Amino acid sequence: MKRSFLLILIALALSTGVGAQSQRPAPKPIPRGSSTQNKASNEKASPQGSPSSLDSLKNAEQRKTAAAQDTANNRADKYEGELAISAVIQAVCAGLLVLFTGLLACYGYRGWQAATTAAEAAKKSADVAEQTLTLTNRPWLDVSDWELPILEIDSPPYVKFKIYNFGKSPAWITRLNVKFTTIDAGITFPEVPDYTNWANLLFRDVVSRIIQPEGSIREGCPFALQEFPESTYRRIRKALTYLWVFGLIKYEDFLGEPHETAFSAQYVQIADTDKGVWIADTGPATYHYHDRKRGQKNTGLSEPE
């Protein structure tokens, strides 16, 4: 019984399906060329699409563009910030470098000043030491022991003297000039010594002589004038005229340094007697000094002949 009922149900189901298929409309035939036209129309219509699709595409593109612009702006802002920070760091570093360079220059300048001051002080100390050593060990010449052997009428006088080295090293004589003449009492001594004298020719053999420390040589000088008249003799006896001798010695020390000594002396006759006295270092300072190397330049003195 049950089996018959199932068979009936299956038959009904099959008949229902066949009826539905028979009721479905048949497909319409497609005209020739309609497929190509539909395809072309679809291609033409596809770019435009429906209004809602176009808006969606536009909105999507705008969102993408805005997102890209925001990203670019964010990157630009970040880059500008990094540049600003880098510029600040560079400026700070440059300032520190300038400050360090300034401090280094200041320190170097102070060091240079200190070194210069120390060098100058050392040089002055060395100069003082050298001068002290030179002054202590150099030769010193002096002229003394004046002697007038004879004083007679019509007989030109002759003066003798000693050149003495009271220094501590030898002196090498390079020049000797001596002038023996007269000067009237009350007459002002000439400011500039005039060593011109024919008797200087007699001192050529003195040049190149060496005077040892504590040593001396004896020299003499004739009267500068060829004649010695009686009137001059009598004025000397009455102390109206004086005999006067002055000269210049040039010499070198053991280092070859030049030195010079100027000397002068005046013979004063005691009135109405045969006695007289020698007075050393008479006349202006240009006639008697030790080592006045620039004295002639300063006073306008001429080189002795």
Residue 23 to residues 19, 27, 33, 56, Cα–Cα distance (Å): 6, 12, 30, 42
Joined tokens for residue 42: 């679809």
- Determine which helix (DSSP H) or strand (DSSP E) holds 260, and give its type and residue range: strand 258-269
Output the pLDDT for position 95: 86
Sign of the CA dihedral with 258 first, then 261, 286, and 159 last: negative
pTM score of the predicted model: 0.57
Confidence of residue 11 (pLDDT cuts 50, 70, 90): low
Q: Measured between alpha carbons, how far is 169 from 73 in angstroms, rounded to an integer? A: 97
More confident residue, 36 or 183: 183
pLDDT digits (tens, 9 = 90+) for 146-156: 999 888 887 88
Residue 240 to residues 182, 191, 195, 223, 235, Cα–Cα distance (Å): 10, 21, 23, 18, 5
pLDDT digits (tens, 9 = 90+) for 222-246: 998 878 888 888 888 888 999 999 9
pLDDT digits (tens, 9 = 90+) for 244-290: 999 999 999 988 999 999 999 999 888 777 788 999 998 899 999 99
Query: What's the rounded mean pLDDT across residues 185-197?
Result: 87
Q: Are 139 and 167 in contact (CB under 8 A)?
A: yes
CA-angle at 172, arms to 169 and 174, nearest 5°: 150
